[in-house]
Amino acid sequence: MDKITDSPVTDSAQPDEVAPDRPTRDRTTRGAALVATLIALPVTVLVGAFAFAQLSPDERAEPAATPSATATSAGPRSTAPVEMAAPTLAERPATVCRALLSQLPPTVNDLAQRPVTAGPEQNAAYGDPAVTVACGGAKPAVDDTDHVWTVNRVCWYASEERDATVLTTMDRETAVTVRVPHFYGQGLQWVAPVSDTIVASVPSVAAADTPSGCRT
Q: What is the mean pLDDT of residues 36-52?
A: 46
Look at residues 199, 198, 179, 200 and name the one whose alpha carbon lies nearest to residue 190.
Answer: 179
Instruction: Convert the pLDDT of each residue in 122-153 to its tens digit.
Output: 999 999 999 999 999 999 999 888 999 999 99
173 with 198: CB under 8 angstroms? no
Q: Can you say whether the dihedral through the CA atoms of 89, 90, 92, 93 is positive or negative?
A: negative
Q: What is the mean pLDDT of residues 54-73?
A: 38
Q: What is the mean pLDDT of residues 106-111?
A: 94
Check residue 163 and report its DSSP letter: S
Strand order in the sheet with 164-169: 107-108, 111-114, 123-126, 131-137, 175-181, 164-169, 154-160, 149-151
pLDDT > 70 fraction of the chain, expressed in percent and rounded:
65
34 with 41: CB under 8 angstroms? no
CA dist 31 and 53 (Å) reads 34
Q: How many CA atoms lie within 13 A of 50 on its CB side?
A: 6
State pTM to two decimals. Answer: 0.66
- Mean pLDDT score across all residues of the chain: 77
Based on C-alpha coordinates, what's the Rg of the chain? 45
CA dist 129 and 125 (Å) reads 9
197 with 104: CB under 8 angstroms? yes
216 with 145: CB under 8 angstroms? no
Instruction: Convert the pLDDT of each residue in 153-184 to its tens digit.
Output: 999 999 999 999 999 999 999 999 999 999 99
Q: For residue 162, which amino acid is it? A: R
